[in-house]
Every structure is written in structure tokens, then in C-alpha cells.
Structure 1
Amino acid sequence: MVNQARLVVDAVVLAGLTIAAWWLWMGWDTTYQVDAVTGARTGPYEPWQVVGCVLCLVVLAVVGAIRLPRWVVVLVMSVAFTVAWSMTAIATATGPLWGVGALMVFVGMVAGSCVVVAVVRKVRGDGKALSGT
């Protein structure tokens, strides 16, 4: 029972920190930049925000892969980040295309977290990268 309780607590903490990474690095920025000369619109995120967020997510996935079963890390981080992203997207969306973006974010999170977890498990010599605990 203690191991299950630790698993739940660790998963909830991982979800909370994943959501925090979104909000601290990118969730607060909804301002687009317009080039005065070309009229091109970019943003809302700056490259440093994306890099900072990705680095935080990598650290969380590494720690998660050490403490939790691999499938938990992939599922928790992917769902938590997608939900956080979606909350911002829904609030600023002018149409239903935010759902396509949410799907892309989810697939990207699954792929990225799978890669990080697999590398951690390989480095640790834990055998199969995405199976078991």
C-alpha cells in the first residue's frame, strides 16, 4: 500500500510541476509581435521561453523516469501539459482549431517524453525502455 501511495503522490507532483512549467514559461504570454516593415506576425512565444520550458520538461521526465513506471511518466506529463496548453488556447481561440493544436501538443509530449524516458532507462541499464517499472 505504501508503494501505491508513493506512486500516486509522485504522479500528482509530476502533473503539478508539468503544468507549472507551462504556466511559468509560456502560459502567461499571449502577445503576438508584428514586424513594422513586413507586417509579419510572430509569437506569442520567444525562443528563450520554449527552450526554458523544454529543459524543465526534460528534467521532470528524467526525475520521473527514475521514480515512476515509464508509462506513468509519459501519460501524466502528456495529459497535464496538454490540458494546461488547452486552457490557454481555449481562452484565446477564435475558432475550433485549438483542438488540432491540442492534438499536436499531446503527440509531441508523448514522443518527447518517450524519448527521454527511453534514454534514462538505457543509461541506467534498466532493460526495455518503455515497459514495466
Structure 2
Amino acid sequence: MPEADSPSQRLLRLTGWVAFVVLGTSGAWFITYALLPWELGYTYDPATGEGHGPWVPWQFLVCGILILAVAVTTSRSRYWPTVLLLPPALTLSWSVIVSREDMTGLWMIGLIYMMFASTVGTLFVLAVTRSFRELRLQRRSSLQSQEPPTA
């Protein structure tokens, strides 16, 4: 029978998962930002007076895939509640960049949207991942109970 983890081992594992979620999420945002071509900047249409940001669609895709990987990996672990640190980590990372670049002050509205959307997305991924995990465990236990005993 395996020995139970000591409190210090559990704390160390919990700290590792917290670091994985926070650093993985922030890293996904900052890596994606670093991939931004430097020659792109805000462009302004003189006819409408509207500015268009330097973001390109593939950046959102790359960032989304990296964050999804962090969320799914964490949601499958024993320390799945740590995935709830993903929305604040993403929102803080996003606001560090956007608050410096926004000249209108509307980044605070974006902050609310970012926090809401990342929370909803994280809860959805958590629910789906945990549901699949439970179904898999139920299926495994039902298959094991159907096997005839060996003599």
C-alpha cells in the first residue's frame, strides 16, 4: 500500500501547480506578444480617425492554444482548483501591456471583458475536462467489475 504524502510534499506539489498555471498563462500572453512583428504598430485611418491595433489574428490563436493547454493539463490533475488562477493571471498579464499602449483609457473596460471571458472559458474547460475524467473512471470501474474472478 503506498504511503500518504506528507504535508510538505503536498505543499510543494501545490506550489508547483500554482507556478505552472500562473507562469504558463503569463508566459503564453507574453510569448505571443513577443512574436508581434515590430514593424507593425497602431495605424490610423485619416478618413475615419480610427486606430487599428498591431495585433494579427494568428497571435490570438497561438495564445489561445497555449492557454488551453495549461487549462486542460491543470484541470486533469489532482490539484485542479489551481486552474482558477488562470483568469487573474491572464488579465494581469494583458493589462500590463494594454494599459501602457492605450491612449483612450478604455483598457479598463477591456479588463472587465477579459476577466469575465477568461473566467467563463476556464470554468467551461474545467467542467468539460472533469466530466470526461469522471466518465473515464466510471467506465474503467464498470469494466473491472465485469471481469470474472481469476482462480
Say yes or no: TM over 0.5: yes
Map 1:39-118 → 2, pairs under 5 A: 41-74=51-84, 76-118=85-127
Q: Under a length normalisation based on structure 1, what TM-score does the superposition of the two structures give?
A: 0.80
Match of 1:19 in 2: 26
Flag the structure with more relative contact order, 1 or 2, with Cα contacts below 8 A and sequence separation at least 6. Answer: 1
1:4 to 3, 11, 14: 11
Percentage of pairs with the same residue: 25
- Whole-angstrom CA distance in 1 between matches of 2:48 and 2:102: 24
Structure 1 gaps, min length 5: 127-133
Q: What is the identity, as a one-letter code, of the residue corresponding to 2:103? A: T
Aligned length: 125
Q: Under a length normalisation based on structure 2, what TM-score does the superposition of the two structures give?
A: 0.71
- Whole-angstrom CA distance in 1 between matches of 2:61 and 2:32: 9
Q: Answer yes or no: is the 8 Å Cα contact 2:75–2:130 preserved in 1.
A: yes
Q: What is the identity, as a one-letter code, of the residue corresponding to 2:53? A: G
Deviation of residue 32 (structure 1)? 2.7
Deviation of residue 124 (structure 1)? 0.7
Deviation of residue 98 (structure 1)? 1.5
RMSD over aligned Cα, in angstroms? 2.5
- Whole-angstrom CA distance in 2 between matches of 1:36 and 1:94: 17
| CA radius of gyration, larger in | 2
For the residue of structure 1 that corresponds to 2:55, the secondary structure is: coil
- Whole-angstrom CA distance in 1 between matches of 2:102 and 2:53: 14
